[in-house]
Amino acid sequence: MKTILVKGPALSRSGYGEQTRFALRALRQAQDRFNILLINISWGHTGWYNEDNEERAWIDQLIAKTQGHIDNKAPIDISLQITIPNEWEKIAPVNIGYTAGIETTRVAPQWIEKAHIMDKIIVVSNHSKNVYNNTVYDAVNQQTGETFKFQNQTPVEVVNYAVRSMEQEPIDIDLEYDFNFLSVAQFGPRKNLANTVQWFIQEFHDDEVGLILKINLANCSTGDRVMCVSKLQEGLAQHPNKKCKIYLLHGDLTLEQMNYLYAHPKIKSYLTLTHGEGFGIPIFESAYHGNPVIAPQWSGQCDFLHAPVTSAKTKKTKIRPLFCRVDYTIGDIPEEVIWDQVLERGTQWCYPTEKSAKQCMRDMYTNYTQYLGMARKLKKHIIENFTETKQYSKFADAVYGEEQVELEGWLASLSDDIQVHE
């Protein structure tokens, strides 16, 4: 059994928070291999994971146990660090970095430097893996003056998220129309919500169609809600006589409440015009509930929005997109999102085109039955291939696999049989 120290924002309502809890669940399913410790770190200004359930109690127990372990200066075998690579460090004999946020075309050079002090990297999508491995910088050897290609040399493994089947808890939402789109996102540049709202209104100005926005800026406070409303009103003021409806949902919803939202009979499609996703958990969860998806064919969501489809005519099976694809261009990220040593000037992401976005929304509305058939195939694919059992097992093996356990056990047995003669 290996003592593993998990370091991540386990109590944060954020993408990295959910990632940390996913890792903990996976390790918990393999407790015969792992003695789990946990150091909780903060993540920005996001809200807290305050659910009163067995998992939260278990997390609190891990934090308390870890403090005792540290006080006794007991050893650890593996560190699992769940955050942006800038914060990775060597703290154990084996160090693993687990990151998600690669929504662009390259990683910062500091991410490559930090990768080289780790023994393994785990990411949540093939887009993240490809970007990490394909980012190349021209560098200069400070001693010889020779130029060389600077790129990642550390092994990168992909483990997608898992479907979590939960009960539904109703929320108070009164939808006037029978056809509504849903978007779940933080109100920031990457999610492209301003264009999403404007293009939706322009396309459905005179139609009985709604758009539900489950959004926040940084947290779920009252002040955050006021700021979200203010930002929305700036755009809505340009369309005083619109027939279509915009609904704002703000606040901390449980997974059970989100499941209710995804399954609502008047919510017909998930809409995202995102510039890029590490994985895209809300898209994933909505697709699991059988909602047709509108999205760009770019970045992390491509891992689960494609599935094998067998042709009735040729009987051949090919990987097909099972969603409504928005055309896009690739361009530099805007100045406002540049983040030193994380999102650097010159890196790029996708820009969904206005024409295609509007066409997709209209086509979803007018040809809904066609997309519903695609969504049912996608749901079946996700249910069969993204189970908790499969994904947790993949993650535990990526950290410390069964073959490593067997190998170390075999080597230990050999050492027991060796007799030293002097």
Residue with tokens 């700036």: 234
Nearest to 211 by CA among 237, 238, 175: 175
Quote the pLDDT of residue 413: 60
- H-helix or E-strand spanning residue 413: helix 402-417
How far apart CA 62 and CA 216 sit, in angstroms, is 30
CA-derived radius of gyration, the chain: 23
Give pairs for 384-390: CB < 8 Å, separation 24+. 386/160, 386/161, 386/162, 386/163, 386/284, 386/288, 386/304, 387/162, 387/163, 388/25, 388/29, 388/162, 388/163, 388/164, 389/29, 390/162
Nearest to 130 by CA among 276, 339, 272: 276
Helix (H, G, I), strand (E, B) or coil at 386: coil
- Amino acid residing at 138: D
pLDDT per residue, tens digit, the chain (422 aa), is 999 999 999 998 778 899 999 999 999 999 999 999 999 998 766 666 777 889 999 999 999 999 999 999 999 999 999 999 999 999 999 999 999 879 999 999 999 999 999 999 999 999 999 999 999 999 888 888 889 999 999 999 999 999 987 789 999 999 999 999 999 988 788 999 999 999 999 999 999 999 999 987 556 666 666 777 777 777 777 888 899 999 999 877 888 999 999 999 999 999 999 999 999 999 999 999 999 999 999 999 999 999 998 888 888 899 999 999 999 999 999 999 999 999 999 999 999 999 999 999 999 999 999 999 999 999 999 999 999 999 999 999 999 987 666 556 555 566 555 555 55
Q: Write out the two tokens for 57.
A: 């109690």
Quote the pLDDT of residue 126: 96
Strand partners, 139: 148
Rama region for 163: left / alpha / beta (φ>0; ψ in -120 to 50; rest): beta
Domains along the sequence of the chain with CATH: 2-159+389-408 (3.40.50), 180-385 (3.40.50.2000)
pTM score above 0.85: yes
Residue with tokens 């146990």: 65
Strand partners, 107: none
> Is the distance from CB of 338 to CB of 385 less than 8 angstroms?
no
How far apart CA 53 and CA 221 sit, in angstroms, is 22
